Amino acid sequence: MTIQQLKCFSVMAEVLHYTKAANQLYVSQPSLSYSISELEKELGFPLFERRDNKTYLTHFGESILPYVRVALDKLEAIQIKAYELADPFTGSINLGNIYSISFDFIPQLLERFYTNKENGNITVSCVQGVNRLLIDKLMEGSLDLIISGESREQDLISTQIFTQELKLIVPQNHPLAGRESVLIKDLKDEGLISLGPNSNITGHISACFRERGLEPKFVLSVAECSAMGAFISSEMAVAIAPVVPSFHSNNVCIIPFAQPDNELLGRKIYLQWVKERYLPPTARRLRDFIVEEFVENK
């Protein structure tokens, strides 16, 4: 049973005329008759019969016709999807990103990507999450690309695209609130809010403190940066974090770090994808665009 045989049967069942069906299929009438005859042999029953010089579907043909049409529709859907997957200008991309770049970098990235009218038929679906969650989703295949903190996964390719500045966030009446800048050593006795084990910021901050011979004192843990503001404004703790819009609606003060601690605390952000996995042309197009437009020190 071939696709061509099923197409011949479907068209013939619609027009019930060999010459017309052959013309629609762009085949000769003998070829059409042969295809249907071979299909009937394989099925073991007749699909058409002649009565009064007219062609009719048999009850066997009527019975299988709906299934043949469903099968052909499925095959057409597969073909359309295959064309889409092979077309770098049409299709969808699943992009994961850490929460803290959802408000500035991602909108800037997409605006510049869609400035090119050739990208107008590409849909980018953005999924936000913490570092570990994004890496897991990338590894399992539900994401094509992620923009996140550092990963140590051997199966990933990582390209650094920029450095994210971390700042000190304190209540407005905090002793450090009036400072133009601070150093890590100024926080040796401060209780800090962490982003938990699934974000790499906590480990990064700990490493920076140890670089200065100190140990951070984490006293609270939250899921993502937007949740920090309320705890800070309630004077429960302070935080070292990238600046997110929710901070501006809370009663907090944002203070930059002075050099060399500002450079030390800079969090490296990477574009990542799975090394040995097929990357659809649309995802490759976005990946190459990000590398070309945003990678530092190419």
We report the CATH number of the domain holding residue 31 as 1.10.10.10
Could you tell me the residue range of the domain that residue 259 belongs to? 166-265
Residues 6+ apart with CB under 8 A from 192: 205, 216, 217, 218, 219, 220, 237, 238, 239, 240
Return the DSSP state at 120.
T
Nearest 5°: the CA angle 115, 242, 268 is: 75
Is the domain of 172 the same as that of 260? yes
Number of DSSP helices (H) and strands (E) in the chain, helices first: 10, 12
Can you state the percent helix, strand and coil of the chain, rounding each to 5?
Answer: 45, 25, 30
Whole-angstrom Cα distance, residue 151 to residue 171?
A: 32
Reading the block at residue 105, the tokens are: 């970098």
Which pLDDT value is given to residue 298?
Answer: 56
Dump pLDDT digits (tens) for 121-169: 999 999 999 999 999 999 999 999 999 998 888 999 999 999 999 999 9
Whether 193 and 284 share a structural domain: no
Q: Are residues 282 and 134 in the same domain?
A: yes
The reply to whether 148 and 105 lie within a common domain is yes
Same domain, 45 and 69: yes
Q: What angle do CA 183, 248, 166 make, to 5 degrees?
A: 30
114, 89 contact by CB (below 8 A): no
pLDDT tens per residue across all 298 residues of the chain: 898 999 999 999 999 999 999 999 999 999 999 999 999 999 999 999 999 889 999 999 999 999 999 999 998 888 777 776 666 788 889 999 999 999 999 999 999 999 999 999 999 999 999 999 999 999 999 999 999 998 888 999 999 999 999 999 999 999 999 899 999 999 999 999 998 888 889 999 999 999 999 999 999 999 888 789 889 998 999 999 999 988 887 889 999 999 999 999 999 999 999 998 999 899 999 999 999 999 866 5
Domain count, the chain: 3
Q: What's the full length of the chain, in residues?
A: 298
| 244, amino acid identity | V
The residue out of 67, 86, 105 marking a domain boundary is 86
What pTM does this model have?
A: 0.73
Q: CA–CA separation, 22 vs 25, rounded Å?
A: 5
Residue that has been written with the tokens 């665009």 in this structure: 289
DSSP-based three-state secondary structure for 88: coil
Do 63 and 108 fall into the same domain?
Answer: no
Q: Is 232 found in the same domain as 152?
A: no
End position of a domain, from candidates 86, 112, 127 = 86
Alpha carbon 182 to its chain centroid, in Å, reads: 37
H-only helix segments in 149-267:
200-211, 228-233, 261-265
Same domain, 247 and 113: no
Per-residue pLDDT, 196: 83
Would you state the pLDDT for residue 60?
Answer: 93
Which residue, of 86, 110, 125, is where some domain finishes? 86
